[in-house]
Amino acid sequence: MANYYTDNSELKFHLNHPLMEKIVRLKERNFLFRKEFSFAPIDYEDAIDNYSLILEIVGEICGDIIAPNAESIDNEGPHISNGHVVYANGTKENIKALNQAGLMGMSLPYKYGGLNFAIVPYIMAADIVSRADAGFVNIWGLQDCAETINEFASEEQKERFLPRVSAGETMAMDLTEPDAGSDLQAVQLRATWDEDKKTWFLNGVKRFITNGDGEIALVLARSEPGTKDGRGLSMFIYDKHKGGVTVRRIEHKMGIIGSPTCELVFKDAPAELVGSRKMGLIKYVMALMNGARLGIAAQSVGIGEAAYREALNYAKERMQFGKSIINFPAIYEMLSVMKAKLDASRTLLYETARFVDIYKTYQHISEERQLEKNEREEMKQYQHLADIYTPLAKGMSSEFANQLAYDAVQIHGGSGFMKDYPVERIYRDARITSIYEGTTQLQVVAAIRGVTTGAYLNQIRVYEECEVSPQMEYLKRSLIILTDDYDRAVNKVTSAGDNEFIDFHARRLVEMAGHIIMGYLLLLDSNREELFLRSAKNYIAFARVQVKAHAEFIDASELNDLHTYKYDLQETVI
């Protein structure tokens, strides 16, 4: 009878953000969709009510089915039979329940059988499902790939594939290969055009493919023989019903065990080109990855939620020295900082989702009609924000998810190390979040532009302009001081005029920006809802220490110091 949406009032708060009215209005084309689709919402209140009621369905299925299945799925895992994946029994049950409830293809347009969900409520569903089972969310969340088809495939392709996603077929994105992980330019899988059959055929191997046996897959392959870099790669759709791909192996993983991570063998697998040749990596994968990164940020927040709740319950129930351990400062501080990090990563997640929502919706509208000048400008503005916020959200929230899982095990003491409590699984599941869809180090590479171009600082100044109640002014003053520290550190690092020096400090600088941004977002949340004040105070106190520490380090750092960190591979002893 648990409901993972209604038992979490923070979610409803983020769903009702003031910017949502604009998002919904754009997404529903000023409520004109109603003319064509009778079930489309009538007005803003109607749409938000739909979101909320549908998230209640998600919450119910998560509480009643997905969360109770998580343990058995973790034990059983998927296996291969005749070159194809067989999911764990619990996984099959989860998929069936979500399908029956019509929760696939949530963000796809009505005309393809979707619910035309904005990104914010869709990401909220991912947040909720992740709390229930972080491994399962991968299989469900790969419906994200449909968005890439919706953006770049032909109308005819959309009409063939998208309704299948809405009807519940699962997806995969086949990018990684044994020698092409973070460096996707090295992708080798061959795509050859057969003039007689008028079809592309794929040959080669893909590795570490999540839900690799999904019904519809997006495949990155080399369509231009003789090329070596990203410019020779194109994007293809592979339809499992056509055959040609077998699963050779399912990886044995530390966590997210229910999510099958596959090694795939392509043998003359027929496929269709998406969009233009040679744009596979340069354009489409970038879009695909940005969507996926936001999904991992949601997964991280959901894991953090699960970790925090387990720790909180245990700390209340566990008696030592004659009292609940939550009464000890060492424990309650840990819990409150966990909660602050959780609320911080969640508010950053939804801020990012709103930016993505606005720019993506404008992008779709621009295919229907020419945008007005102010609309074009707004689209650009939000796209820039989405571009710098997505890696920030993914990087920060996945690191926090790991910290929360670590602390949750710690609070359980010896029991947390045993398989008797869910934290043991949560700890293992959390670990991947800061690795896949680009490691934290690669998120920093994507985010550092936001530092060097001053884009983060500009947005911080926008937050600074917002009014807060007098009792919170002192928190704002703290953030203004930290912003000065950040600004000084950025100037110090960039004025050295050396790219390696920037790379060396990049993570510190990105984190400083992240802490300040999350501090502001929590402050603004508190201004709307007092519930967040506790987390705002605790987070800003935590952020101050982090930002100051990084500022100190950078202040004392010189270009010449780098050699004390570097390795020389020629030297045998280090």
**What 3 state SS string does 120-167 have?**
HHHHHHHHHHHHHCCCHHHHHHHHHHHHHHHHHCCHHHHHHHHHHHHC
Stretch in the footprint of another protein (CB under 8 A) among 35-43, 290-298, 379-387, 492-500: 35-43
Residue placing its CB nearer to another protein in the complex, 41 or 258: 41
H/E run at residue 379: helix 373-412
**What 3 state SS string does 187-204 have?**
CCCEEEEECCCCEEEEEE
Stretch in the footprint of another protein (CB under 8 A) among 32-40, 156-164, 186-194, 390-398: 32-40
155 included as an active-site residue: no
Residue placing its CB nearer to another protein in the complex, 101 or 481: 101
**What 3 state SS string does 306-356 have?**
HHHHHHHHHHHHCEECCEEHHHCHHHHHHHHHHHHHHHHHHHHHHHHHHHH
By C-alpha distance, which of 280, 282, 172, 300 is closest to 235? 280
Q: How far is the CB of 539 from another protein (least distance, A)?
A: 34
Residue placing its CB nearer to another protein in the complex, 99 or 410: 99
Return the residue of 32, 39, 252, 373 that touches another protein, per CB under 8 A.
39
Stretch in the footprint of another protein (CB under 8 A) among 45-53, 133-141, 300-308, 354-362: 45-53
Quick count: other Cβ atoms within 10 Å of Cβ 571? 7
Quote helix, strand, coil % in the chain, to nearest 5.
Answer: 65, 10, 25
Q: How far is the CB of 145 from another protein (least distance, A)?
A: 20
Residue placing its CB nearer to another protein in the complex, 36 or 530: 36
Catalytic residue among 151, 263, 437, 511: 437
Q: How far apart are CA 423 and CA 441, in angstroms?
A: 26
Q: What is the DSSP string of 47-93?
A: HHHHHHHHHHHHHHHIIIIIHHHHHHHHHH--EEETTEEE--HHHHH
263 φ, ψ (degrees, to nearest 5): -105, 125
Are the C-beta atoms of 279 and 235 separated by less than 8 Å?
Answer: yes
- Distant-in-sequence, close-in-space partners of 524: CB < 8 Å, separation ≥ 6: 463, 466, 468
- Within residues 251-310, the interface with another protein by CB under 8 A covers none
- What does the DSSP 8-state code read for residue 117? -
Q: How far apart are CA 516 and CA 542, in angstroms?
A: 11
Q: How far is the CB of 34 from another protein (least distance, A)?
A: 9
User: Is residue 97 near another protein by the rule CB under 8 A?
Assistant: yes
Return the residue of 66, 115, 264, 509 that touches another protein, per CB under 8 A.
115
Residue placing its CB nearer to another protein in the complex, 99 or 439: 99
Residue type, 408: A
Q: How far is the CB of 102 from another protein (least distance, A)?
A: 4
Q: How far is the CB of 293 from another protein (least distance, A)?
A: 25
Return the residue of 20, 66, 106, 306 that touches another protein, per CB under 8 A.
106
Stretch in the footprint of another protein (CB under 8 A) among 46-54, 273-281, 283-291, 479-487: 46-54
- Distant-in-sequence, close-in-space partners of 174: CB < 8 Å, separation ≥ 6: 189, 206, 209, 212, 217, 218, 219, 220, 238, 264
Quick count: other Cβ atoms within 10 Å of Cβ 39? 9
User: Is residue 101 near another protein by the rule CB under 8 A?
Assistant: yes
Q: How far is the CB of 101 from another protein (least distance, A)?
A: 5
- Number of residues interacting with another protein: please give it, by CB under 8 A: 21
Stretch in the footprint of another protein (CB under 8 A) among 100-108, 333-341, 385-393, 453-461: 100-108
Q: How far apart are CA 442 and CA 430, in angstroms?
A: 18
Q: How far is the CB of 50 from another protein (least distance, A)?
A: 5
Q: How far apart are CA 404 and CA 311, in angstroms?
A: 9
Q: How far is the CB of 37 from another protein (least distance, A)?
A: 9
Residue placing its CB nearer to another protein in the complex, 106 or 408: 106
Are the C-beta atoms of 170 and 142 separated by less than 8 Å?
Answer: yes
Residue placing its CB nearer to another protein in the complex, 77 or 102: 102
Stretch in the footprint of another protein (CB under 8 A) among 39-47, 192-200, 243-251, 557-565: 39-47
Q: How far is the CB of 26 from another protein (least distance, A)?
A: 19
Residue placing its CB nearer to another protein in the complex, 39 or 321: 39
Residue placing its CB nearer to another protein in the complex, 100 or 154: 100
Residue placing its CB nearer to another protein in the complex, 28 or 74: 28
User: Is residue 103 near another protein by the rule CB under 8 A?
Assistant: yes
Q: How far is the CB of 115 from another protein (least distance, A)?
A: 6
- Within residues 433-452, the interface with another protein by CB under 8 A covers none
User: Is residue 100 near another protein by the rule CB under 8 A?
Assistant: yes
**What 3 state SS string does 493-526 have?**
HHHCCCHHHHHHHHHHHHHHHHHHHHHHHHHHHH
- For residue 419, count CB atoms less than 10 angstroms from its CB and return exposed for 0-12, middle for 13-18, buried for 19 or more: exposed
What does the per-residue mask of binding to another protein show for 49-88, with x meaning CB under 8 A? xx--xx--x--xx--x------------------------
Residue type, 125: A
Catalytic annotation, residues: 437
Per CB under 8 A, residues contacting another protein are: 38-43, 49-50, 53-54, 57, 60-61, 64, 97, 100-103, 106, 115
